[in-house]
Structure 1
Amino acid sequence: MRNREKLTEKLVRAAETRPKAWQVFDTDVLGLSICIYTSGSRSFMFDYRTAGRQRRFTIGRWPEWSVTAARDRAKVLRREVDSGIDPMAEREDAREAPRFPDLVERYLREHAAHLAPRNAADQESMLRKLIEPHWKHRLVTEIEAADVERVLNLIAQGRSRPAKKTPKTKRREPLKPPKPTPIRANRAGEMLRKVFNLAIAWKMRSDNPALGFRRRMEVERERFLSMDEIARLGDALTAAEDQRAAAVVRMCMLTGARLGEVRTCRFEHFDLERAIWTKPAANTKQRRVHRVPVSLDTVALVRTRIDAVPPGCDWLFPGDVEDKDQPVQEIRRFWIDIQQQAEIPGVRIHDLRHTFASLLVSGGASLEMIGKLLGHSQSRTTQRYAHLMDSPLRAGVDAVADMIRIRPRLVHSAPTAAANGTDAAKPRRVSAARLG
């Protein structure tokens, strides 16, 4: 038989400790009790029955919870039970609710796994290193727009990084001052918007806190090599000791292709008779097959590579001897040396792609043609080269202006002025506009 008494502070304080935990139920609120444990600690409980199940809900510890507060809470719980709500089920659901790390794991497993390897690795790095440390223990439903803005601000500020040169002593490497990374913050915001869109589809939450994140201003880098720089680069590539890496760079210059597309190309991708390069979807950024014509110089380069690679090798630019079954992985050191020899500091290999587009523009190519040659999936990407077309446009408008330009006409003053011998008798220039 249950012990029933009206719970008071005095009764709870004086309740004895027994070898087994025991309860004293309140006579005022049905189901409310104080449980005295063998350790001497005391907690308020609420016992109820729902859907044929006996349930016990822990309200809180005494004396943090007073008898009056526990009784008020028990009354609220009793009303919820009478209305068909199970308080314990709600608590269990909250305990089992997915947290942000759970969302990250599912996103990487079910979505990022289908992206390009480099893109997937980049997104995983942002989630693991830049975002998850801030939301590691947060429920997915607890993250708000202010939390997204706060973490994007931290990403935009940048991080301090170790200096490149390794010190001679074993002391800790000095840190470089943080460099702002607004573009990185924008990419993280776009990724979070996709993450929470999937969270909605997976029934983890009902809204997207990253839907309207504030985009930071991006200043796109536009570096184009001049004809003198192109000539110096060509001379440096011809004199280079590593002609394999030099051929990779020369291929980028001739085709405007991305470095990754050039590194991973195979002989079977080229139709040398028709001068066509068919890039498989796995090698392109847009994940689509890209069929593009190439120049005769590119065809000649491919033919020279046939004699340069080992017999039976499918890669146009295979790796070293120990990695001959894989494409060349890194030419960064080679490019640094070429930069110094060609006197083009700060130029990236990707800038050769921009230079290729600028030369197309100067040759009269349209933006649509440039987009097809470069493999752009969106026209707005090609629009970054639109300002390069100002020169031919300016020549056109100058020609039109020259044809309609108002030319001065010679007029004579009145005869009376000529008779008087004044200066008015001299012819003067009057524009056609003033003559009406």
Structure 2
Amino acid sequence: MTEKLTKRIVDNAQYEGDGKSKHIIWDSALTGLGLRVYPSGKKSFVLSYRQNGRKRLLTLGKYGVYTVDEARDLATNNLADINKGADPVEAKRQSAKAQTMEELYSIYLERYAKSHKKTWSEDERRINNHLLPTWKHHLIISITRNDIASLHNKIGVKHPYEANRTLALLSKMFELASEWGLIDETRANPASRIKKFKEEKRDRFVSQTEMPELIKAINNEKNVYAKYAIYMYLLTGMRKNEVLKLKWNDIDWDRKDIRLDDTKAGRVHYVPLTPMVEKLLSEIPKQTNNPHIFAGEKEGAHLVNIRKPWVRIRDEAKMSDVRLHDLRRTVGSWLAQSGHSLNLIGKVLNHSNESTTKIYAHLQESDARRAMENHEKNIERFIVNN
């Protein structure tokens, strides 16, 4: 099929084929330029050319990353190089042969994760904990499906959830490596078609009978910033990264709320600044030239990982099965047990699938505050007794 590629043509293009054949719409305005439409719906610009008697198909880039005009300019530049004897497909192939997995990890974090994912630090943690020790110096093209399945099984013996998230991470990395020309785009994704572990939905939360021991253990924690951060989880139900990244200018002392701009739900969220949270914040030592409330070890940085302090706390409290995220679930569970509606709990925890009508917005602000103050009183009685 040949027609002049325009935004309308590209937007409306759909895959036509048996799932195995290539579907390419060729541009009538520039010979060799085409739009490849995949069965998945993905669309990429390609350039067909001949070099040394061999027909080549070069992937220029994904539609959305490039506009039609930008793809046409890119194709024109490549054709100029090809006329001088260059072979961009072979150049990509040679480059891919030299690329190591360590280089892919770095490119993935800088080129994609940090700008597209709010949880990129989790990707970085999995890279450091699982992927770098396994394949640091291995070539990208050397990694097979069996290699990935073996690592997935190794992690999954004790941590099925972590294994599945690592598998998803690898799948995205290889998908992007293909898109970026680091590997041949015709090569199957080695992280595909690997059976995931079954994940049990967690419903663990800290009960009222367990709370005294947990409070005692939190108070005994020597890392001051970690101690206060964990209290903040317990009192507000905020997500881990929301707590750790908090800055002093996020606090509105007059309005008595905490403004969260960078939330998983993708919208601004206000957390009520209840009396106990306000007191907690007033006790946290401020560091000069550090805007973050929970200061990290590096100058000007925030606390990044509190896993070790949390393990100490939960072990001392004899609750080794409680994860840090379970504190957020504890907030929701205690609110539910106090008779608060699911809609209100969704608002307090900023669930992305919860929607409330605008007419009740001002009423729910006060309801959320009352709910959190009641929740705070439930916890405060345990703290007073310790």
Return the TM-score normalized by structure 1.
0.48
- Percent identical pairs in the alignment equals 27
The whole-number CA distance in structure 1 between the counterparts of 2:51 and 2:160 is 57
Query: Which residue matches 1:46?
Result: none
**Aligned 8 A contact 2:259 2:268 in 1:** yes
Say if 1:289 and 1:97 are closer, same or farther in 2 by CA, change over 3 A.
same
| Structure 1 residues 333-386: Cα deviation after superposition (integer angstroms, max 9, x where no partner) | 54445335534344333321121121122233444443443344457xxxxxxx
Say if 1:295 and 1:183 are closer, same or farther in 2 by CA, change over 3 A.
same
Q: Does 1:153 align with 2:149?
A: yes
Match of 1:357, SS state, is: helix
Match of 2:238, SS state, is: coil
Q: Does 1:121 align with 2:124?
A: yes
The whole-number CA distance in structure 2 between the counterparts of 1:330 and 1:297 is 24
Letter in 2 for 1:96: Q
The whole-number CA distance in structure 1 between the counterparts of 2:296 and 2:230 is 15
| Structure 1 residues 221-242: Cα deviation after superposition (integer angstroms, max 9, x where no partner) | 4321110211332344456666
For residues 269-288 of structure 1, the aligned pairs below 5 Å read 269-281=250-262, 284=263
| Structure 1 residues 153-212: Cα deviation after superposition (integer angstroms, max 9, x where no partner) | 3123326xxxxxxxxxxxxxxxxxx94443333223322332343345446314753454
Query: Which residue matches 1:356?
Result: 331
Paired residue total: 264
One of 294, 313, 319 as aligned partner of 1:344: 319
Letter in 1 for 2:281: V
Letter in 1 for 2:255: R
The whole-number CA distance in structure 2 between the counterparts of 1:200 and 1:340 is 45
**Aligned 8 A contact 1:155 1:181 in 2:** no
Q: Does 1:190 align with 2:188?
A: no
Query: Which residue matches 1:167?
Result: none
The whole-number CA distance in structure 1 between the counterparts of 2:238 and 2:167 is 28
Letter in 2 for 1:188: T
Q: Does 1:309 align with 2:286?
A: yes
**Aligned 8 A contact 1:252 1:352 in 2:** yes
Match of 1:292, SS state, is: strand
Q: Does 1:112 align with 2:113?
A: yes
One of 236, 241, 263 as aligned partner of 2:244: 263
Query: Which residue matches 2:94?
Result: 96
The whole-number CA distance in structure 1 between the counterparts of 2:110 and 2:288 is 40
Letter in 2 for 1:358: S
5+ residue gaps, structure 1, are 1-50, 55-88, 160-177, 380-436
**Aligned 8 A contact 1:153 1:185 in 2:** no
1:257 is displaced (CA, Å) by 1.9
**Aligned 8 A contact 1:156 1:180 in 2:** no
Return the TM-score normalized by structure 2.
0.54
Say if 1:364 and 1:106 are closer, same or farther in 2 by CA, change over 3 A.
same
| Structure 1 residues 377-425: Cα deviation after superposition (integer angstroms, max 9, x where no partner) | 457xxxxxxxxxxxxxxxxxxxxxxxxxxxxxxxxxxxxxxxxxxxxxx
The whole-number CA distance in structure 1 between the counterparts of 2:198 and 2:303 is 36
For residues 423-434 of structure 1, the aligned pairs below 5 Å read none
For residues 41-190 of structure 1, the aligned pairs below 5 Å read 96=94, 98-99=96-97, 101=100, 104=104, 106-114=107-115, 115-116=117-118, 117-122=120-125, 124-125=127-128, 126-130=130-134, 136-138=140-142, 147-148=144-145, 150-158=146-154, 179-190=157-168
Letter in 2 for 1:309: K
Say if 1:151 and 1:279 are closer, same or farther in 2 by CA, change over 3 A.
same
Q: Which has the larger radius of gyration?
A: 1
- Which runs of at least 4 in structure 1 moved beyond 6 Å after TM superposition? 51-54
5+ residue gaps, structure 2, are 1-49, 54-86, 355-386
| Structure 1 residues 237-259: Cα deviation after superposition (integer angstroms, max 9, x where no partner) | 45666655432222111011234
The whole-number CA distance in structure 2 between the counterparts of 1:265 and 1:90 is 47
Root-mean-square deviation over aligned CA pairs = 4.2
| Structure 1 residues 288-343: Cα deviation after superposition (integer angstroms, max 9, x where no partner) | 543333433222322343xx4357764323357xx564434555554445335534
**Aligned 8 A contact 1:275 1:296 in 2:** no
Say if 1:314 and 1:122 are closer, same or farther in 2 by CA, change over 3 A.
closer
For residues 369-408 of structure 1, the aligned pairs below 5 Å read 369-377=344-352
1:270 is displaced (CA, Å) by 1.3
1:266 is displaced (CA, Å) by 1.9
